[in-house]
Amino acid sequence: MPGEFLLEMSDITKAFGTNVVLDGVSIQVKPGEVRALMGENGAGKSTLMKILGGIYSGDQGSIRIGGEDVKINTVDDARKYGVSFIHQEISNVPNMNIAENLFLGREFKNSLGLLDYKKMHQEAKKALDALGLDMDTHRLIAGLSIAQQQMLEIARAINEDAKIIIMDEPTASLSHGETEHLFKQIDLLRSKNVAIIYISHRMEETFKVCDSVTILRDGEFIGTKNTKETNEKELISMMVGREFESIYSTHRAEGGETVLEVKNLTNSNVKNVSFELKRGEILGFSGLVGAGRTEMALGLFGIDPATSGEIVINGKSVKIRSPKDAVANGIMLVPEDRKVQGLFLGHSIATNLTFQVLPSFIHNFKVNKKKEREIIETYQNKLSIKMASVNQLAGELSGGNQQKVVISKWLAAKPDVLILDEPTRGIDVGAKAEIYKLMQDLAAEGVSIIMISSELPEIINNSSRIAVMNEGRLVKILDPKTDEITQEIIMSYAVEEGVEEYV
């Protein structure tokens, strides 16, 4: 019936040169509906939403908001029609405070036309309180964590009184508590008839918070399902275009002799962390954001060296004061933020992939091109990296393929211990399945893996054992051979106050 939909995007087509990224895509969203938008990397999700958000202009098609035909050519156009975009990439200004960022571009002014800082701080405090955030509005953005900055982005969108909010991977950097705050806020927005388009690769979130889900594949509309009338298997099959039983392996790495012993490792963020890592096992590290998982890894890798404790590799005590020491002892780290810490985005895939092993094919300023090509081809094939050529810039790859390049860089250096920090953050379900299989294959080849993840299904289904951290301490190691392992059990250790460290 007329007026049933708040948003109607019809026959949206977009090409970059000869590459058609959207081919006649149409979606309709009702007031108060939370619509998941899912698909593999490169399916066209972000491009479609960037057209709605005024970042790109479509080549063909039409947009109606509230029954009115609209032309959206700029971000300001989108805002005028009540569209707000919460990007996965944080866009805050670091040298400005919270209130200034929250009202950037729409500042309050007094009767003299000057900025009304008092009112901005008052309104900023109200916006933060609505999200359950206890933050000083005078604090500079540069001093906030990624999770705090993400919550500020969400507060800005809500404060703009938007009719349609696009959320692109909104929980990627949030703690469990912050995620729950977000979901409560989404419920509140739903009750106010705000439509939300929720881009996420996390199935569990989709079924928990979304009313419906639209699937795109290769730039085409595949279908829309009510979340109560579908399941994970059906959605994955729609995304990949074939029957897909499970993204997880049925095999669980067992592990052999002890390769790494960490004894009472303490640095600026963790205290007395002790555990053993066996050859060919995947030791999963779980816990809330800020629990010390990444900080433990930074200690092992020498970025934040241990101030006390001992690291023993293959029975030999070693000192790791820098990443160079770690690499020399066979410890490699695939970092949490691949774009900032893992890749040279403006350089070629070849440069990125071979960076750690340059001495193996460069001697006396002469490059052994054959050896270089062999290294690149080995890992391109092993990890199924999709690229136009080895000269393509790393920044042009999808998230999943970027992650594969980072992993390849370290695999080429032949690690004994491979630390994977949030290995599937922001990548699609197909790429996730490939990385999970790669982890199991590496473990079978004898590589010992430490996997840090905020996704409990990922931890439970891939780990040989699970180490749970809480407030900088390792509080429990769960072994599926002897322990019942559920999300609730893991979370009980992750959130418990006053717990004793694991011994």
Sorted by where each starts, the structural domains of the chain and their CATH numbers stand as 7-92+144-240 (3.40.50.300), 248-330+416-503 (3.40.50.300), 337-414 (no CATH)
How far CA 378 is from CA of 18, 353, 370, 385, 414, in Å, comes to 30, 11, 12, 11, 13
Average pLDDT in the chain: 89
Mean pLDDT value of segment 32-36: 97
pLDDT over 90 (residue 142): no
pLDDT band at 503; cut points 50, 70, 90: very low
Q: Please tell me the predicted confidence (pLDDT) of residue 90.
A: 67
Instruction: Determine the pLDDT at residue 224.
Output: 97
Beta bridge partners of 84: 165
- What are the structure tokens assigned to 20, written together? 């058609």
Lowest mean pLDDT across 110-124, 243-257, 272-286, 488-502:
488-502
- The per-residue pLDDT for range 39-88, each reduced to its tens digit, is 887 789 989 999 999 999 999 999 999 999 999 999 999 999 999 998 76
* Confidence label for 466 from pLDDT (cuts 50, 70 and 90): very high
The pLDDT of residue 1 is above 50: no
CB within 8 A of 30, min separation 6: which ones?
4, 5, 6, 195
- pLDDT at residue 329, as a whole number: 96
**pLDDT number for residue 185:** 83
CA 166 – CA 456 distance, rounded (Å): 25
For the chain, the distance separating the N- and C-terminal CA atoms, rounded to the nearest angstrom, is 64
